Amino acid sequence: MSESFEPVQPLYDGNGRLLGIFISAPIWDQVDVQVKPILEKALGNQGVGSDPKPLKEPMEDWQNLLHFWDFKYPVDTSVHCEHCGNSTENWETDDPRKFILKAANLGGLAAFECCQCQARITKRHFKDHIAVETDPPADS
């Protein structure tokens, strides 16, 4: 595998057939306004990024946490990103979403991804307090 990174790379399958072209984010930021109309025309009704995939959140795990909640304080649905300052009083009701639930469990863990900067916010619920930590995005 090559050690160098090319901002525009052709991608091939095992038989040498061209599968597509990888365009790095910085290059895409420079060309997307010009390229999107061409892609939309070529793709017809499919569009380019027009229909985002539905969110896949572990809502059943969140509901289980709520159902078995026995802590001495009310459920806290607020989330705040220390990395970029994004904030909400109730992550479930935001439209569009500011935070995506990434994990929840009966042990009191609830982890979110910030939709603005992709930082990870982890809330660990203990019997008498909540410990919150923000991890910066993976690429920073």
Range of the domain at 73: 59-135
Q: What is the pLDDT along the chain (140 residues), one digit of tens a residue?
A: 455 678 888 888 888 888 888 888 888 888 888 888 887 777 775 555 555 555 689 999 999 988 888 888 888 999 999 999 999 999 999 989 999 999 999 889 999 999 999 999 999 988 888 999 999 987 65
Q: Is residue 54 part of a domain?
A: no
Same structural domain for residues 18 and 80?
no
Number of domains in the chain: 2
Using CA atoms, how far residue 58 sits from 32, 67, 70, 86, 136, in Å, is 32, 14, 20, 22, 22
Same structural domain for residues 29 and 89?
no
pLDDT for 79 equals 97
- Give the CA count within 13 Å in the CB-facing half-sphere of 25: 1
Same structural domain for residues 71 and 99?
yes
d(CA 24, CA 11): 13
pLDDT for 58 equals 93
| CA-wise closest residue to 76 among 118, 116, 112, 119 | 112
The answer to pTM > 0.75 is no
Same structural domain for residues 112 and 67?
yes
